Structure 1
Amino acid sequence: MVFIWRGGPTSQRLLLSLLLLAFWEAGGGQLHYSVPEEAKHGTFVGRIAQDLGLELAELVPRLFRLASKDRGDLLEVNLQNGILFVNSRIDREELCGRSAECSIHLEVIVDRPLQVFHVEVEVKDINDNPPVFPESKKRIIIAESRPPETRFPLDGASDADIGVNSALTYRLDPNDYFALDTQNNREQTSSLSLVLKKTLDREEIQEHSLLLTASDGGKPELTGTVQLLITVLDVNDNAPEFDQSIYKVRVLENAFNGTLVIKLNATDPDEGTNGDIVYSFRRPVSPAVAYAFTINPKSGEIRTKGKLDFEEKKLYEISVEAVDKGNIPMAGHCTLLVEVLDINDNAPEVTITSLSLPIREDTQPSTVIALISVSDGDSGANGQMTCTLTPHVPFKLVSTFKNYYSLVLDSALDRESKSDYQLVVTVRDGGSPSLWATASVSVEVADVNDNAPAFAQPEYTVFVKENNPPGCHIFTVLARDADTQENARVSYSLVERRVGERALSSYVSVHAESGKVYALQPLDHEELELLRFQVSARDAGVPPLGSNVTLQVFVLDENDNAPALLAPRAGSAGGAVTELVSRSVGAGHVVAKVRAVDADSGYNAWLSYELQPAAGSARSLFRVGLYTGEISTTRALDEADVPRQRLLVLVKDHGEPALTATATVLVSLVESGQAQKVSSRALAGSAVQEAALVDVNVYLIIAICAVSSLLVLTLLLYTALRCSAPPSEGACGPGKPRLVCSSAVGSWS
Structure 2
Amino acid sequence: MLIYSLTVAISALHICHCVDLTYYVKEGKNPGTYIGDIASDTHLLDSVRPYIDRDMIRFTHLQQDLTGISQLFRVAKKTGKLYTAQTLDAESLCAHGVECLRMLDIAVRKGTSFITLLEIKVVIQDINDHQPKFPNKQINIKFSELDVIGTKRKIPNAKDRDVGTVNSQISYQLKKKINEPFSLSMSQNVAGTSDLGITLEERLDREMKDSYQIQVIAKDGGSPPKQDILDVFISVVDVNDNIPVFSQKVYNVSIGNDHNKNSPIIILSAKDSDAGKNGQILYHFSSETSDVSTSMFELNEDTGEVYLRKTLTLGQTLMYKLYIKATDQGNPSLSSLAKVSVNVISQQNNPPIIDVNFVFELIQNMVSISEDIEVGSFIAYVKVTDHDAGNNGEVSCDLHHNKFQLQNLSTKKYKVVVKNLLDRETEDHHELTINCQDRGSPPLHSESKFSIKVKDINDVQPQFFKETYTFRIYENQRSNFPVGFINATDPDQGSGGQLTYSLLTDNKHFLPFQIRDDGFISTIMSLDHEFKHIYKFQVLVKDKGTPSLNNTVNVVVEIRDQNDNTPYFTFPSVNPFIMNILYYPHYTKKITVLKASDSDSRENAFLKYEITSGNDKQLFTVNHYTGSLSFTRVVTQQDAGSYDLEFVVKDSGSPVRSATTAMTLSLTVSNKTSEMSNTVHVKTEDKIHLNLAVVIVLVAVSVSVITTAFISICIIRCNERQNARQKEEANSFHRCVSEQRHLMCPSYHGDSWTDAPVTIATDADKAKDAHLRAATIESHSADDSAEGLKNLPASLNPWRSIEKLRQMQEVVVLPSNEKSGKKTIMTPDYFSWRSPKSSHPDNSHNFNVGDTGHREEIPGM
- TM-score, normalised to structure 2, is 0.36
